[in-house]
């Protein structure tokens, strides 16, 4: 009789302990998730504080290059500047008017810092665009210098501009590294959006059309473009292949890391799965 009772109760006791263990595990998982969420929120607050401190320093240090920017950049890159009368005549076909419109799309110094541009790209992307333009002497435009040769960037100007922009780039990269968990917690699409903003948009987005390629700020359109993305075979996507080969970005310091390549491929593969389901 005792043996019978023991046999009957044994599985019940085992079942009860098993359920209790599962509940304890679920509670632990829930608590860990809650703690991580709180930690990420705290990290976000610290991240915004660091960005504000960086903004203050950038505005203060901008004073050292304010005269250079005013004299040599503002005609096309400051929305507060009024075009001369000959630039306002027939605006749709006037090259002077066109240069200013395109210039403001790519970069606007109106607020000093943060820098403004169409699509609100990350500040570090705009800072790198300035650095590249100064180092490669691509700005001011040659057509502009034909009319205003005295506004050419001199070696002294270049040293001053690089002295402002280079430390800011380094600080942005330090902050990005410090708060990497915030970006890792984002969706794949959000992470690719950030990747493009950092590595691609200064040449191929926000009004920039280098090499005949533009519009990379619109990820949905990118995925629908068969010239860029192959949803049947993601690895054969042109946008992936040119990055994997190192052809793009053209700046060796901006080439995609292996981790960034995996992210790009993962994004295309996710889109492929959705399209083929």
| Residues 219-271: tens digit of each pLDDT | 899 999 999 999 999 999 999 999 999 999 888 878 999 999 999 999 999 99
Average pLDDT over residues 53-58: 96
pTM confidence score: 0.71
Distance CA 55, CA 5 (A): 75
Statement: residue 162 has pLDDT above 60: yes
- Better-scored residue on pLDDT, 211 or 174: 174
Closest CA to 193 of 219, 223, 159: 219
Statement: residue 179 has pLDDT above 50: yes
Average pLDDT over residues 51-75: 95
Mention every residue, 6+ apart, whose C-beta is less than 8 A from residue 9: none
Kindly report the average pLDDT of the chain as a whole number: 85
User: Could you tell me the residue ranges of all domains in the chain?
Assistant: 60-178, 187-277
pLDDT in tens, 4-48: 444 555 555 656 666 766 666 767 777 777 887 888 889 999 999
pLDDT at 89: 65
pLDDT at 2: 47
pLDDT at 85: 56
Phi-psi category of residue 153: left, alpha or beta, with phi > 0 → left and psi -120 to 50 → alpha: beta
Average pLDDT over residues 59-73: 95
Our CA dihedral for 173, 177, 183, 184, rounded to 10 degrees, sits at 140
């Amino acid at each position: 009789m005792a043996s019978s009772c023991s046999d009957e109760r044994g599985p019940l006791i085992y079942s009860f302990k098993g359920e209790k263990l599962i509940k304890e595990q679920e509670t632990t998982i829930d608590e860990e998730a809650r703690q991580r969420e709180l930690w990420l929120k705290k990290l976000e607050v610290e991240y915004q504080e660091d960005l504000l401190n960086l903004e203050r320093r950038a505005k203060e240090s901008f004073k050292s290059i304010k005269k250079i920017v005013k004299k040599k950049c503002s005609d096309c890159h400051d929305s507060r500047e009024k075009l001369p009368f000959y630039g306002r005549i027939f605006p749709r076909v006037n090259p002077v008017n066109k240069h200013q419109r395109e210039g403001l799309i790519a970069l606007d110094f109106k607020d000093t810092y943060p820098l403004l541009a169409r699509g609100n790209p990350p500040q570090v992307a705009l800072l790198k665009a300035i650095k590249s333009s100064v180092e490669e002497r691509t700005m001011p435009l040659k057509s502009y210098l034909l009319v205003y040769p005295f506004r050419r960037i001199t070696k002294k100007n270049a040293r001053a501009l690089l002295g402002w922009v280079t430390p800011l780039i380094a600080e942005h990269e330090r902050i990005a590294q410090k708060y990497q968990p915030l970006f890792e917690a984002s969706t794949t699409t959000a992470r690719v959006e950030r990747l493009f903003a950092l590595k691609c948009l200064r040449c191929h987005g926000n009004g920039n059309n280098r090499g005949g390629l533009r519009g990379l700020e619109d990820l949905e359109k990118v995925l629908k473009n068969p010239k860029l993305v192959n949803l049947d075979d993601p690895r054969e996507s042109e946008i992936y292949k040119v990055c994997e080969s190192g052809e793009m970005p053209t700046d060796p310091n901006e080439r995609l890391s292996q981790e960034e390549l995996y992210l790009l491929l993962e994004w295309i593969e996710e889109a492929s799965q959705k399209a083929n389901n």
